Structure 1
Amino acid sequence: MYKTFLILFLFFYVNAGVGQTTGSPLYASFLKDTSLSQAPDSLFFYNWNSDANSWENGWKEEFSYANSGLKTAQSNYIWSADHWEPTHQTNYSYVDDKLSQSEYSEWDDYEFDWFPRNRYSYVYDSQGRLTQWLDTKWNPTLASWLNDSAISYNYNESGLLASSYVSIWSATFQDWENYSETLFNYTNGQKIRQVHSLWDFDYLIWDAHRINYFEYDSNQMMSSQKQTVINSFHTQWLNDWKTDYKWNSNNHVQEETNWDWFEDDSSWSESTKTIFYYDIRNNLTNKIEQYFDAYYLDWINQFQTINRYSTSNKLIESTLYSWNYSQWNPVFRYNYYYPDYTDMPEDLAQQIQVYPNPANNKLSIHFFGSFRGAIEIDLYDISGKKVYNSQIQYPDSDIEMELPDLPDGSYVLLLINEKTATKKLVILH
């Protein structure tokens, strides 16, 4: 007699919208978003093993937060044979809910302890704007933190960033040395130009190296940006690259096209393109990246990202695929878990019954309570590979499902809805 063990987890999602910033098209280009708006308590990264046709553990991150929701710690681990090994961590501290310091440490296997590496400090003005960022490095010989680099920020009368300066600490002169300068220009509050310069130690002046230009459409959304660079003789500005943006009616970036400049024939040539797709809740669900084939004069698929969200609009899975001219093949995957992605009290668990228990190839789920909307049913094996998926829009009090033909082992069944419970089930074949 064959035995298959099936553990049932039904997860709960608290209704909460995901913040999105439409001022910049870069907000949509996420694969690994661990911003405060998402606030996961853990993130798992998996590599696809094409030989074994399954996902394999890669690394993971774990996050801690204060009651205010601010992130206080981030710890990273790498999968080694059969267990997680710590690699590095960052701890955060705040003053008046503003980040004042973060400290980066690496795990020392020999000492079996954390070894400090970098400490970053942040200074703000009376209006809460960041005015200085300081990087110091730990010196184990002196047992002290030593200056390494710093960035200062200056603002115009409208409160917009006017300039930033990067400085490098000179251990020889025991003083700060200029490294780079960035100047910003605006029209009607929109950034139209950004000039980046490096410090010339021979002439002791700022030497401009590149300029970025920005244009906007009638809805004040960025329609293009272009970068120019100075030639080797410092006598002429040359086109380098440009990016064009298209937006949908909800002011979400819909298409991003990159161009390269060819000096030989003084023309722009299409390089890469990214197409973005959204669901009715404006969540980015699909992103396809293509490159332009100059021989066939056509766009060729390169990568695709598919994102999956909870009913509360939180990103819970992001998978990258590569195109091999005939099909999409998985490359790697991120899974996000949240503090509210947990089991519910026992009284709610009593509202759900999974039977028979033990079961055979057919599984029935009975709901004693009211479960609104759609229910998604996912079945995973212990390697994390999804082996079954089904969606039911408005279930009755009972759900019956035929289990796929699976080998012996343990499986995880996820039922995703606004209500949740946790149950265990044993299946016997």
Structure 2
Amino acid sequence: MKSKITLVTLALLASTFAFGQQSRSWNPGEKKQLFIEKVQRPNIPKQIGNQNTERHLPKRSKQVTHHKASTAALKHRLDSIVSDTLVSAGQWAPNWVEKFEYDWLGNNTKWAGYSINGNVQTPYYEDHISYNSNGNQTQYISHYNYNIGTSSFDDGSKQDNFYNNSQHVIKYVRSNWNTQIQQFEPFYKDTLIYNSAGNPSQTLSYSWNPSTSQWEANYKADYIYDSNGNNSEQMFYWWDSFNNQWEPSQRYVYTYNSNGALTQYISYHYNYSTSTWVNNYKYVNTYDPSGNLTESISFDWDPNMAAWVNRYKDKLSYDSNGNETEVTFSIWDSNLSVWDKYHRYTTSYDANSNPTAIVNFIWDPNLGQWVNEYKDDISFDLNVPSADVVAGIYNEYSNKLLGYASKFWDIATNQWQDEYRGTFYYTQTNTVGLAEKQLSSLSLYPNPASSKVYFGFENQEDEIQITISDLMGKMVLQVSQSPNLPIQVSSLTSGLYNVNITQEKEHFSSKLMIK
């Protein structure tokens, strides 16, 4: 079964990623609210009942997908995406560009967005991503709110991920940039415990108290599994610091069919007055014989009627290849006891199951029919398979993605009108001779460092080239020398730096902390 394709136009990415969690003063009264916000969107086994009606086209996700470089000699590396806006009839003007950098394995290590005004590109955000030797994301640093006066970013956030020997995440630490002290300050932390089957059995969340410089318990989640390994129940608790105990808050119960597909889940909230669990909302899913989700209905609990009441309904259709071709969204009209249509989109595909056109409609109750709203045409190079593409999250299709064109329906002329478009630019890179050498063959020490840093290699004969850059990408030091000799870093100011090392055709990247 193909998952639903959710695509968001690049022209909207600027606003989508303009926000970030800001540094905030500590308010003990916020602890429970933070917990409530976190469990409102539980980590359910399957995304269902999605009422998303946003524009659809290639989506940027903060969680960058790891794609190991293919074995093909000639690969197509996505370097940038340029978005143009139609300013007059037949006249396009660029207004946005995203630029990408990768390590030698094809991991997306830098992601930067710029607004364009004429010939001027102004930074909008800049993300730096680090990986361990297994390709797992270990750190994600995001910078935003660019200050033209200081030519630097005023804000940012950082997430550090820690793994066990089974490569399961055991801890997330989120930090926010504190403009007053000009450094990252902890914000929250999640720790995970796994059962013998490798499934998470418990998550503990903590909030950072800057007044005491300590982590304080925030919430807890316990996960229960059935005999087939399906997550059958989740229990959430919030920490009552006054009574020094965990208090129940929410509960989710999941039901599956014989194929392991989620058929129902019910949400409950805890009533402290009666010490009982109370129905909150429910989803019921229906599947076709191929296992495709064909209908999802959500219900709210009506305490006055003591019954479940219809809320939303999604109906889905598929082609013979299992590609999702149509989704219709409806909302329950309790006055007339009927389902009212309100949104629909259809998706077309090429022979390789790449989405080539997505058309969105809205329901006009006066006309009693669907009315065109907007559409996105997407183009691919069918001669280049995805295995020969290095493009981060944009490498999720069967072939190389070339671009898109977005149009809106002009009700005055009853025609599609151009609105904006995006073009994907690639560099063809010859990768013959790149040895897949792991980072374990490089030793960088000490780290953190204050005066000297040593770079040790198994191959001690060939010269190495070392480039150290700050997180803005500005080179601060470049050295060519024999391996295992120290370099002086005492001139560098305290902070985190990117390190890139080249030895012959072997490339490495790492982080270096100067204290």
* TM class by smaller structure: 0.5 to 0.7
Number of residue-to-residue matches in the alignment? 321
Alignment of 1:266-415 (within 5 A): 266-296=337-367, 297-302=369-374, 304=376, 306=378, 311-312=385-386, 314=391, 315=394, 321=406, 323=408, 325=410, 326-330=416-420, 344=430
Relative distance call for 1:342 and 1:115 in structure 2 (3 A) is: farther
Aligned to 1:36: 65
> Which whole-Å deviations, capped at 9, do the CAs of 1:216-250 have from their partners, x for residues lacking one?
01211111110111125152221101101112222
Q: CA separation in 1, counterparts of 2:114 and 2:288? A: 40
Aligned to 1:233: 304
How high is the TM-score relative to the length of structure 2?
Answer: 0.56
Aligned to 1:161: 231
- Determine what percentage of the aligned residue pairs are the same residue: 17
Relative distance call for 1:259 and 1:92 in structure 2 (3 A) is: same
Relative distance call for 1:305 and 1:102 in structure 2 (3 A) is: farther
Match of 2:212 among 138, 142, 152: 142
Per-residue deviation, 1:35: 4.5
| Counterpart secondary structure, 2:108 | coil
Greater shift in the superposed pair: 309-318 or 65-74: 309-318
Residue type of the alignment partner of 2:420: P
| Counterpart secondary structure, 1:194 | strand
Q: CA separation in 1, counterparts of 2:363 and 2:222? A: 40
Match of 2:318 among 221, 243, 247: 247
Residue type of the alignment partner of 1:25: K
Aligned to 1:91: 160
Per-residue deviation, 1:345: 7.9
> Which whole-Å deviations, capped at 9, do the CAs of 1:42-99 have from their partners, x for residues lacking one?
33445687xx699865323221111211101111122525445151111111002111
Q: CA separation in 1, counterparts of 2:3 and 2:195? A: 25
Aligned to 2:486: none
Q: CA separation in 1, counterparts of 2:119 and 2:331? A: 38
Relative distance call for 1:159 and 1:198 in structure 2 (3 A) is: same
Q: CA separation in 2, counterparts of 1:159 and 1:99? A: 19
Aligned to 2:281: 210
Relative distance call for 1:322 and 1:170 in structure 2 (3 A) is: farther
Q: CA separation in 1, counterparts of 2:114 and 2:341? A: 33
> Which whole-Å deviations, capped at 9, do the CAs of 1:81-134 have from their partners, x for residues lacking one?
544515111111100211111111111222111111011111110110111122
Per-residue deviation, 1:266: 1.0
Q: CA separation in 1, counterparts of 2:321 and 2:194? A: 34
> Using CA pairs below 8 Å that are at least 6 residues apart, which structure has the higher relative contact order?
1
Greater shift in the superposed pair: 281-290 or 216-225: 281-290
Residue type of the alignment partner of 2:4: P
Q: CA separation in 1, counterparts of 2:159 and 2:424? A: 21
Q: CA separation in 2, counterparts of 1:301 and 1:250? A: 27
1:76 is the counterpart of 2:142: yes
Residue type of the alignment partner of 2:65: L
How high is the TM-score relative to the length of structure 1?
Answer: 0.66
Gaps of 5+ in 1: 1-21, 349-429
Residue type of the alignment partner of 2:334: E
> Which whole-Å deviations, capped at 9, do the CAs of 1:332-360 have from their partners, x for residues lacking one?
x79899xxx78658999xxxxxxxxxxxx
> Which whole-Å deviations, capped at 9, do the CAs of 1:340-393 have from their partners, x for residues lacking one?
x78658999xxxxxxxxxxxxxxxxxxxxxxxxxxxxxxxxxxxxxxxxxxxxx
> Which whole-Å deviations, capped at 9, do the CAs of 1:273-307 have from their partners, x for residues lacking one?
12233444434454333322222322322464847
Greater shift in the superposed pair: 273-282 or 86-95: 273-282
Q: CA separation in 1, counterparts of 2:433 and 2:163? A: 39
1:126 is the counterpart of 2:126: no
Relative distance call for 1:311 and 1:53 in structure 2 (3 A) is: farther
**Given that residues 48 and 56 in structure 1 are in contact (C-alpha distance below 8 angstroms), is that contact kept between their aligned partners in structure 2?**
yes
Greater shift in the superposed pair: 192-201 or 228-237: 228-237
Aligned to 1:354: none
Aligned to 2:130: 64
Aligned to 2:254: 184
Gaps of 5+ in 2: 8-55, 68-106, 396-400, 411-415, 435-515
Q: CA separation in 1, counterparts of 2:321 and 2:246? A: 46
